[in-house]
Structure 1
Amino acid sequence: MKPQIKVLNTVLQRLKTLNEPCFGKLFGIFTNNNLLILGLHLENDEGLNLNYSFPAEIDYCGIFEAYSEPFDQQTILKKCNNVEVTDNPIFLSVRLTIQNDIQCNLICNNQIHSTNYTTVDKQEVYSKFVHARLRGEFQLNCEQTEESIRASFADLRKLIASGMMAFTIAKLNVILVTNDSEMNGIIGINDDPAFGDICQEANTEGPQRKTKTNQLDIIDVSIMKKMSKDGEAKNHSPVVVLDKKKLSLLKIPIKIDFLALIHKETKLSKVYDVMLESAIKNLRLYESTLQEFIKDNNIIENSLNIPETLHFFPKDCNHFLTRIVFRQPEEKLKKSRESLHDILVLSKSTPMFRSANQYQFLIKPNGPLTNVHQGLKPTSNNGKLALVKGNYEYYHYCQNNMDDSGWGCAYRSLQTLASWFKLQGYTNTSVPTYNDIQKCLVQIGDKPSSFVGSRQWIGSTEVNFVLNSLLGVTSKILYVSSGEEMASKGPELVSHFETHGSPVMIGGGVLAHTILGVDYNQQTGDLKFLILDPHYTGSEDLNTIQSKGWCGWKGCDFWDKTAYYNMCLPQVPREV
C-alpha cells in the first residue's frame, strides 16, 4: 500500500525560497502508513552530513531537486538508490518559477510516479508525538588515530546493541530491557500501555515541561548497563600483547544526549528498540564530529577539550537538530554556523545555531514568564499589525524579593530588552542585574561612584548606554515633545518591528514602559500600542497580567500629554 504523504509547512516554505538549481535530501518519519516529511538539507561541497543530527526515527526518506530545465530521471533514480528505510522514496521536484511550483513524486519499481500530498503544521505534528531525551555516559579510551577511534566507537555500538543496556523513564519506576526477559521487556508495569499515556503520567508528577514558546511533549530517559545477563558466557583469561611504540592516547567521556521522536500510540514495549537507535545514532554523530575535529586541528596528547552537545529547534525548521561542538576560535564557529544556514536553506539575518539558541528543556520554577502577550485578543483598529519577533522575558517590580517599586521601572524594561537579545542568541551575556547596570554606568563615566547601590532612576539614554556596553547593541533614540505626539510615530514603530523586531523601551515623566508592538491604521491615522508594564508587583500569574491590563493594547490617550518621551529602539545586527 502506498503511504500517505504529509509535508511540514516549513519544508515547503524553504523550498519556495530556492532560486537556483540544486539537489538535497529529505528526512521524515513513518507511522501508520503515513510518511511525514519534517526536514531537508542541501547537498554541499564541504561534506557536511546531517543524517545523524535529526532525532531517532527521523530518517533519510527521499530527495528534492530544484530545476529550471527538465530534470534527468535517471539521475533522480540513482540518487534515490541510497535511501534504505523505504522501497518507495519520495522525490519533491521544485520547478524554479516566481512561485516555485512543487510536485510530489513516489519512486515505485524504478519509475517516478506523481502523487498527492497534504501540508501539516507544527501543532498538528507534535500533538501526536513525544520527544524522548536519552542521556547517559561512557568512557572512550583509545589511540588518537582514525583507525583506533573508529574501532572504539564500533565496540561501543556493539556493547549498546548487545542486550546489556536498560533504559529508565524519569519520575516513574519503569525500566525497559530486552524483550527476551520478563514482561515484554517492561519492569515496573504489568501491562503494555501506549508511550503517550506513560509520558502524560510522568509529566504530571512534577512541573510541566511545556512552554509558550514550544508546545512540545518531552520525556527524560536514562541509559544504564546491566551488571549481569542471563546466559552470559564466561570470559577467558586476558591475553596481553606488548607492542613498544610511541602513541598518543585519547581519554574522553562520551556523554550520550540525544532525542527520539515517538508516536504517542507506540506501545511501551517497542520503545526499547527506539532508544537503542537513539544511542547508536548519537555515537555515530559523536564519532564523525570527533574524527573531523582531530583531522582539522593539531591536537596533542590529552589536550582535547570535552565537546558540548547542543539541541536546537529553529522556528523556521520546526524540528530538533543536534550538534556536538568543540571549543574553537569564533571565526571557525561562525563559518560552521553559516554552513548550517546554507545547507538547511535558512535565512542568515538572525542567529539560530549559537549556544544561546539551544533549546531550553528546563523551566525555571520561579523565573520570569515568557511572551506574556501571546493569547491577547487583537485590537479592533483594523490597521497594520507589527509585533515583537521571537521570545522575551517579563521583568517587573518586586521580582527576586527586591523592593524596587517606585524607582526600578526602567531597569525592568532594560532587563526585558536584554532577555530578548539573549533568547534570540545574539549574546551569551546573562540578563544584567541592578548592580550590573549601575556598575556599568559608573564605569563608562555616566554616573558617579555613589550611584552603585542607590535607588536613582534611569531613562532611555542610560538603557542605550548599558545595551551598548554590556551586549554590544546599538540603539536608535526617538524623541517626542509630548504624549500627544506619540500618535505620529506609527510609521517609524511599524518599520522598527518589521525590520528589527526587538522590544522598545519608552521613558517619560517618572514612568517607563516596554512597547511590544503597534497596530497602525494608515487610513484613519489611529494607532494602538501593545504595552508591557513593568510596574506590576504581583506573582507570575499570566491570567492576572493579561486580564488586569499589565500587558495589553493601549490607545494614544495612555500617554501623558504634558510629558515628553524618549524611546530606545535596539537595532539588531544581521549575522549568524
Structure 2
Amino acid sequence: MAAVHINRNVIETLATYSNTADPFFGVLLGHESEAGWHVTGCCCFTDSSLNNFTNQKDSVTRYLSGGLSVCGIFFENQSLQADDIVKKVSKYPLQNQNGLVILVKQPKDNKVTEDNIFVSPDQNTVEKPKVIDITEDLPALITARLRCPLTISVKVAAKGSLKNSLSNVIENLCNTLSSPSAVYRVQDTEVVFNSSSLVGLPNEAVCSRLLDLTTSDEDEFVSGKQKHSKSYKQRTLKCEVLQNISIADDSGEGTLCAPIIQHNLEKFQAVTLTLPVDVCCQVTADTTVLTLGQYMTTAICNQLRAMQDCFVQYVEGDVPPKVQVFHFQPWKSTAIVSVIYPEGKSEEKLESRRRELHSLFCLPLSRPVFRRGNVSLFPEDINQNGYLINPHQYINTQPMKDGQQYLVQGLYSYHHYMQDRFDDNMWGCAYRSLQTLVSWFRFQGYTDKPIPTHREIQQALVDVGDKEPKFVGSRQWIGSMEVTSRIAFVSEGSELATKGRELAQHFQIQGTPVMIGGGVLAHTILGVDFNEVTGDVKFLILDPHYTGAEDLKVILEKGWCGWKGMDFWDKKAHYNMCLPQRPKVI
C-alpha cells in the first residue's frame, strides 16, 4: 500500500476514546483511491473476542454510505514490533484485497501519532506505509444520492410471523436489486449503469466524468470574483433505480417467457409498507462508474436490512412503524453514516438508541450528533428554507501571517434586516443576530423549536421580567445582555484586541457563534484569526444590517460576511460579547 491518509478528527476521536474506554478496540473506516486509503471514520467494539467480531463488523456496515468500508483495525498492544502485531491481526477475518490499515496504541500511551500506524498487505505481514498523512484536507469526494420509495406487501400468516415474512420479502428485493436487471440512471444524463454494464460512457469511465455531464442550477460563487469549477464538495449526483424487465434477474424463478398470472384464493392478513430508500455513495474522482454501481447496490441492500431491523424493533403488534432515513457526519469529516428512525418518536424516547450510536462510533456523550436536527445538508437541501447557510464557507481568503483561524463549528443560517417580509431596518440587528444564534442550536440538534420572531423575543423578555409589557410590538433595540450565556465586556472597542485568545478558546471548545453589541450596533462573530506571539487578531463578521435579497455574491463582495480588522470597531464605544455555551446532552 503506497499511502495512508487519515483525517485528523479521527485521530483526535481515537485519542479521546482511548482515555475513557476499555477495550481500546474497533475498526477503521475509509474510502479507497489510487493514492491509497483515506481513513475518515472509526467504530468501537465492546467485545474484542473473535466470536463476536464478525457480528459487530456486519452490524456496522448497515450504517455506512456506499464507498465507505472497513479498511482496518485499531487495538491496544504492548509491543509495536511487526511480528507481535501480525499475531493479533491474523486472528480476525479482515481480508481486503487492497491491504489493511492498522493503528496500534501501547497501554498508558494517550497519544496517537504516525508511529502508531501500520499497513498489512495480506494479514501475514506488517510494514510501515510509504506515506502517512494526518490531515484535515482529504481529497474531496463525489457524492451520489438515490432516493426511491419502494412499496412492499408482507403476508402475516399468524401472530408473530411478521419478522420472518418481512425478512423473506427484503431478501427477495435485495436479490432483484443485485441482479443484472436492476440499473441506475444519473439524472439529467443518458448514463445508465450497474456493477457490470455501462451505457453512455466507455466501460473504463471514472466518476469525475459523471460530474462533467451534469449541470448545476447555478455555479457556486467564491469571493474574489471567481467561479467554482466543477466542485466535488458542492455537487451531488442524483440517481434513480430502474428495472430492465426484458432481461432475467437472479431470483431463480426461471427463464423469460410469456407473462403468466397465478390467482390463489386464500384468506390472510397483509401489511403494506413503504420503504423510503435514501442512499448516499461517496467516491473519489478516480473511482470507476462500474464500481459506483457495485457500491450503490450494496448500500441499498444494507439500508433495506437496516429498515427491517427498525421495523422489528419498534413494531406494535403486527403493525410496523413508518420509518425515516437520516444522514449524519459524526466525525466532522466527509464520511456519511445513515440511521433509520421510526416516525413519531420524540428525541427523549430515542435517547437510548443515540447512546448506542455514540458508543459504536467512539463519540462522547456530551454533544448531540445523531439527533434529527444534526442531519447533514446536501447542496440541494441547503436553501430550501429561504435562508443562506454558512455563507462564510465561500470566502476565499488566506490566514493571517503566522496566525491560526478558529471558526464556528457546524451550521447556522444568516438572518438580517428586512427578512421574512418584516421591516426592522435601523432597529432589529440584535434580534437578527439572536436568530442566527438560535439557528445554530437548531442545526446542531439542541432544540427543535422554531426560530423566534421579533415579537416572540420581546414577549419572552417580558415573561422573564426583563421588560415592561409595552415592550411587546415596539421597535426598541435589545442587546447581547438579554441573551443567556457567558458575557465578556470591554469598555472600549480598542480593548477587543485583548480578547483574541479568549475568543479562540471559545470557538475551539464551544464552537458557537458570538453575538456582540452594546453601545453600538450588533454583529455576529463567526471566528477569529489569531497570532499567539504578537496578539494580532482579525474577526470573521456576519453583519445583520444587510437589507437585500439572499444573494451570496453580493453579500461576500460587499463585505456583509467577511474578515475585519481592529479598525472595524468603534474605539470609543463599549461592547458586550455573548458567548453561548453548549448544554451537555446527546
Task: Report TM bin, short chain.
Answer: 0.7 to 0.9
Q: Is the contact made by 1:28 and 1:59 (CA closer than 8 Å) also made in structure 2?
A: yes
Bigger shift: residues 424-433 or 484-493: 484-493
Cα deviation, 1:9-50, whole Å, max 9, x if unaligned, reads: 243343333235432123334444834443321112697622
- Check conservation: 2:383, 2:389, Cα contact below 8 A: no
Of stretches 402-411 and 36-45 in structure 1, the one that deviates more from structure 2 is 36-45
Alignment of 1:28-427 (within 5 A): 28-32=30-34, 34-44=36-46, 49-68=59-78, 73-79=86-92, 82-83=93-94, 85-86=96-97, 88-96=99-107, 97-100=109-112, 101-106=115-120, 108=122, 111-116=124-129, 117-119=131-133, 121=135, 123-126=137-140, 129-142=141-154, 143=156, 144-176=161-193, 185-186=198-199, 193-202=205-214, 204-207=215-218, 215-226=233-244, 228-229=246-247, 232-234=256-258, 236-238=260-262, 240=264, 242=266, 249-268=270-289, 271-294=292-315, 299-302=316-319, 304-327=320-343, 328-361=345-378, 362-364=381-383, 366-372=386-392, 374-379=395-400, 386-427=406-447
Judged with a 3 Å threshold, the aligned counterparts in structure 2 of structure 1 residues 167 and 529 are, in CA distance, closer, same or farther, namely closer
Kept in 1, the 8 Å contact 2:33–2:287? The answer is: no
Superposed CA deviations along residues 177-225 of structure 1, whole A, max 9, x for unmatched, are 686xxxx542x669975331222331x3424589999935421101133
Letter in 1 for 2:371: R
Q: Which residue of 2 aligns with 1:27?
A: 29
Could you say if the C-alpha distance between residues 200 and 120 of structure 1 is closer, same or farther in structure 2, counting changes exceeding 3 Å?
A: farther
**8 Å contact from structure 2 (residues 514, 524) kept in 1:** yes
Tell me what 1:6 maps to. 4
- How far residue 422 of structure 1 moved from its aligned partner, in angstroms, is 2.0
Question: 1:514 maps to which residue?
Answer: 524
In the alignment, is the contact (CA less than 8 A) between 2:27 and 2:74 conserved in 1? Answer: yes
- 1:511: how far off? 1.8
- Indicate the SS of the match to 1:511: coil
Task: Give 2:282's aligned amino acid.
Answer: L
Give the gaps of 5 or more residues in structure 1: 465-473
Cross-structure match for 1:555: 566
Task: Give the counterpart letter for 2:475 in structure 1.
Answer: R
Separation of aligned partners in 1, 2:121 and 2:289: 33
Counterpart residue number, 1:531 = 541
What SS does the aligned partner of 1:28 have? Answer: strand
In 1, the alpha carbon distance for the partners of 2:433 and 2:322 equals 38
* CA distance in structure 2 between the partners assigned to 1:565 and 1:449 by the alignment: 27
Give the superposition deviation at 1:151.
Answer: 1.1
Deviations 1:526-566 (A, max 9, x none): 665443322233454556545544333232772252x4443
Q: In the alignment, is the contact (CA less than 8 A) between 2:31 and 2:284 conserved in 1?
A: no
TM (norm. structure 1) is 0.81
Q: Distance in 2 between matches of 1:547 and 1:271?
A: 38
The SS at the match of 1:372 is helix
Q: Which moved more, 1:21-30 or 1:317-326?
A: 21-30
Secondary structure at the aligned position of 1:155 is classed as helix
Q: Deviations over 1:450-473 (max 9, x none)?
A: 6555433222244x1xxxxxxxxx
**Structure 1 residues 210 and 238: CA distance shift in structure 2, 3 A:** farther
Residue 470 of structure 1: aligned partner: none
Q: Secondary structure at the match of 2:440?
A: helix
Shift of 1:406: 0.9
> 1:288 and 1:537 mapped to 2: Cα distance?
50
Q: Name whichever of 145-154 and 477-486 sits farther off.
A: 477-486
Are the aligned partners of 1:136 and 1:224 in contact in 2 as well (CA < 8 Å)? no
Question: What amino acid sits opposite 1:403 in the alignment?
Answer: D
Distance 1:558 1:233 in 2: 79
In structure 2, distance between residues paired with 1:458 and 1:262: 48
Give the count of matched residue pairs: 543
Quote the Cα distance in structure 2 between the aligned partners of 1:352 and 1:454: 38
Question: Alignment partner of 1:419: what SS?
Answer: helix
**CA distance 1:86–1:214, shift in 2 (3 Å):** closer
The alpha-carbon deviation at position 104 of structure 1 amounts to: 0.8
Offset, 1:341: 2.5
Q: Distance in 2 between matches of 1:118 and 1:542?
A: 38
Instruction: Give the Å deviation of 1:153.
Output: 0.9
Deviation of the 1:447 alpha carbon? 4.9
Q: Unaligned 5+ residue runs, structure 2?
A: 223-227, 249-254
Distance 1:177 1:336, change over 3 A: closer
CA distance in 2, matches of 1:488, 1:195: 49
Q: Once the 2 structures are TM-superposed, how far is the Cα of residue 401 of structure 1 from its aligned partner?
A: 5.0
- Any idea what SS the aligned residue of 1:141 has? strand
User: How much has 1:257 moved relative to structure 2?
Assistant: 1.0
Q: Does structure 2 retain, via aligned residues, the 8 Å contact 1:209–1:217?
A: no
- The alpha-carbon distance between structure 1 residues 253 and 124, as it changes in their structure 2 partners (threshold 3 A), is same
The question of whether the paired residues in 2 share the 8 Å contact of 1:376 and 1:546 is answered with: no
Residues 262 and 571 of structure 1: is their aligned pair in 2 closer, same or farther, counting only changes over 3 Å?
closer
Q: Give the TM-score normalised by the residue count of structure 2.
A: 0.80
In structure 2, give the amino acid aligned to 1:219.
Answer: L
Deviation of 1:236 (Å) = 4.7
Q: CA deviation at 1:255?
A: 1.6
Query: Cα–Cα, structure 1 residues 72 and 267, in superposed 2: closer, same or farther, change >3 Å?
Result: closer
> Identity over the aligned pairs, expressed in percent?
31
1:416 to partner: Cα distance? 1.6
Q: Aligned in 2, Cα 1:443/1:38: closer, same or farther, shift over 3 Å?
A: same
Counterpart CA distance in 2 for 1:278 and 1:475 is 43
Q: Distance in 2 between matches of 1:254 and 1:336?
A: 21
Distance in 2 of aligned mates of 1:513 and 1:419: 15
Q: Distance in 2 between matches of 1:494 and 1:293?
A: 44
How many Å apart are 1:319 and its aligned residue? 0.6
Relative to structure 1, is the Cα distance of residues 194 and 281 closer, same or farther in structure 2, using a 3 angstrom cutoff?
same
Distance in 1, Cα, partners of 2:494 & 2:391: 29
Counterparts of 1:87 and 1:487, CA distance in 2: 52
8 Å contact from structure 1 (residues 478, 566) kept in 2: yes
Moved more, 10-19 or 129-138: 10-19
Residue 139 of structure 1: how far off its partner (Å): 1.9
Report SS of the residue matched to 2:116.
strand
Post-superposition Cα deviations, 1:250-272, rounded to whole Å, max 9, x if no partner, equal: 43211211112334334445544
Give me the whole-angstrom Cα distance separating, in 1, the residues matched to 2:32 and 2:504. 43
**Cα distance change, pair 165–524 in 1 and its aligned pair in 2 (3 A):** closer
